[in-house]
Amino acid sequence: MRASPLRFVLPVLLLLAALLPAVAARAAAERPLAVVGFNFVDTSGEAKDQTAAHAARLSAMMETLQSKLAASGRFRIIAFACTPQPCTAEPDVDGALAEARKAGADWTLVGTVRKTSTLILDMPVQVIDMASGKSVYGRLLSFRGDTDDAWQHAARFLARELIAQLPP
């Protein structure tokens, strides 16, 4: 006796019907977060030109930050490049906020990485609520070491902080 195809199709359809609300709930829970590429400022006075290394580290840091935030399921990332180019200039925060607003972001993350000496870097960051224009998160992070690992550690730390600290 041959098994009916419905015998297999029906359980699959029931499983899909059970999973659909969970998928829809996750999508609804993701808040649109604009992430503006951080700018970089080096006031360390080091003689060696590290422009290319810093640009690569900054790019990798932003990729890690965005991917960790997106993977949390809490945020739908809307990525923007820093302006004006190059990213070492003073950022155009007003322009970034206007672009984020147009893109439908609830919040916008802005920040800067500042190298103040050979081993000391800091990163002031702020998340701005687009409805009120007020900061919902602000912090000055400090990290040691101008290495790929140090920059990646800072990105992962910031992502964990934002996931834990931003309201649902």
Query: The pTM is what?
Result: 0.81
For 137-165, what is each residue's pLDDT tens digit? 999 999 999 999 999 999 999 999 999 99
**What pLDDT, on a 0 to 100 scale, did the predictor assign at position 3?**
58
Query: How far lies 104's CA from each of 10, 34, 45, 97, 162, in Å?
Result: 39, 9, 40, 11, 19
What distance in Å separates the CA atoms of residue 87 and residue 74, rounded to the nearest whole number? 28
**What pLDDT, on a 0 to 100 scale, did the predictor assign at position 2?**
61
**What pLDDT, on a 0 to 100 scale, did the predictor assign at position 25?**
43
Q: Is residue 99 part of a domain?
A: yes
Q: Is residue 17 part of a domain?
A: no
- Percentage with pLDDT > 70 across the chain: 81
Q: Is residue 60 part of a domain?
A: yes
Report the CATH number at residue 96.
3.40.50.10610
How many domains does the chain divide into? 1
Q: Is residue 15 part of a domain?
A: no
Q: Is residue 9 part of a domain?
A: no
For residue 52, the enclosing domain spans 31-165
Q: Is residue 8 part of a domain?
A: no
Q: Is residue 156 part of a domain?
A: yes
Q: Is residue 116 part of a domain?
A: yes
What average pLDDT does the structure give for the chain? 86
Q: What is the mean pLDDT of residues 19-47?
A: 77
